[in-house]
Amino acid sequence: MNTVFVHASRSYEVKIGCGLLKTLGQELRKIAGGKVLIVTDENVAPLYLSEAYHSLQGAGFSVSTTSLPAGEGSKDIKYYVNLLNLLCEKNFTRSDTLIALGGGVVGDLTGFVAASYLRGIRFVQIPTTLLAMVDSSIGGKTAVNLKSGKNQVGAFHQPALVLCDIDLLSSLPPREFLCGCAEVIKTAILFDRRVFAHLQANGTDFDRTYVITRCIECKRDVVCEDEFDTGRRQLLNLGHTVAHAIEKLTDYIIPHGEAVAIGCAIFARAFASDAEQIEQLFSQFSLPLTTEFSAPTLANAALSDKKRLGDSITLVVPHCVGNCSLRTYSVEELEDIIKAGL
């Protein structure tokens, strides 16, 4: 098992290894007592809720559970309010803990509830998808979506503990696993040529503990330097300007990871000296590289994204694997950049 220490506005441990779900109760006992509410979804509940429940109960916690419909539709104000009301009904106080057992949707929603209920209570992330392990469960971004776009309302609220149990990945549908690989490849392009080479050499048989730990360490370093996303953390948005546009234009039918792969590939073709290698690696993981949307359509959708600052937009420019930088462009330039990479 590996442990990554995060020292942000809250310090916490991220544990990565096999068999961690059954240690949840004893790990939480080191930092909390009282009541816990496990928030999960209807795909994850039949697989892992019982183990989480019994681990917590065995460690002396008073445990309640709630399950949401699976999918992006649950990252909605309606479910946010329902969860707040549930916490009120159960008389949760600041000594109690929310547990997010699921992928990014469950983690982001539960985190936002934890950030705002009583002005902030403790929460723990148990990511059950690769994407959530390497990205959304780390760094304290929490949110729900509005009709106008993804993550339009939220807060920064760091978890108190993150347990990445590698065993949980075995139940992921192949397409969802590959979507997580898109964020892994994104992290390798940004920060780690060795991980990139390891992925080239091993494909989907990559060493789970090594790669996930490295992705978490890379993200940890960025988050600790720029927790509130005013500078360097924006590097993590590589490919995301176009990705969010594609997700919005397809009403989230194209999953986030696939949209990120397309977004990274477009920006690689527009900027990177080793675009071919980047494209090849995404292809090796059966991830898409192109979209049928035109440059003006993508640019228009992207410009309603919250990353826009007045008449300019900050983009992540991949120069080559391991070397990316933030550059500010006028909104008019975005369409030409996308056109160059389509």
Residues that bind ligand GLY (CB under 6 A): 135, 139, 141, 229, 233, 236
Cβ proximity to ligand GLY: between 35 and 141 the closer is: 141
Distance CA 287, CA 265 (A): 10
CB 214 to ligand GLY: min, Å: 16
Tokens of 13: 């441990």
Whether the CB-CB separation of 210 and 198 falls below 8 Å is answered with yes
CB 158 to ligand GLY: min, Å: 11
CB 235 to ligand GLY: min, Å: 9
CB 139 to ligand GLY: min, Å: 4
Cβ proximity to ligand GLY: between 74 and 237 the closer is: 237
CB 331 to ligand GLY: min, Å: 22
Q: Where are the alpha helices (DSSP H) in the chain?
A: 24-29, 50-58, 77-89, 104-116, 130-131, 174-191, 193-202, 208-225, 240-249, 256-271, 275-284, 295-303, 331-341
Cβ proximity to ligand GLY: between 53 and 112 the closer is: 112
**For residue 210, with 0-12 CB atoms within 10 Å meaning exposed, 13-18 middle and 19 or more buried, which class applies?**
middle
Cβ proximity to ligand GLY: between 131 and 172 the closer is: 131
Please name the residues in contact with 244: beta carbons below 8 A apart, sequence gap of 6 or more.
149, 150, 259, 301, 302, 305
Cβ proximity to ligand GLY: between 76 and 108 the closer is: 108
Please name the residues in contact with 176: beta carbons below 8 A apart, sequence gap of 6 or more.
103, 129, 130, 131, 255, 257
CA 80 to chain centre: 18
| DSSP letters for 18-78 | SS-GGGHHHHHHTT--SEEEEEEETTTIIIIIHHHHHHHHHTT-EEEEEEE-SSGGGSBHH
Cβ proximity to ligand GLY: between 236 and 278 the closer is: 236
Q: Half-sphere exposure of residue 228, counting CA atoms within 13 Å on the CB side? A: 2
CB 32 to ligand GLY: min, Å: 24
Cβ proximity to ligand GLY: between 87 and 215 the closer is: 215
Nearest position to ligand GLY, beta carbon: 236
The helix (H) or strand (E) run that includes residue 320 is: strand 312-320
Cβ proximity to ligand GLY: between 139 and 257 the closer is: 139
Angle at 247 between CA 41 and CA 82, to 5 degrees: 35
CB 201 to ligand GLY: min, Å: 27
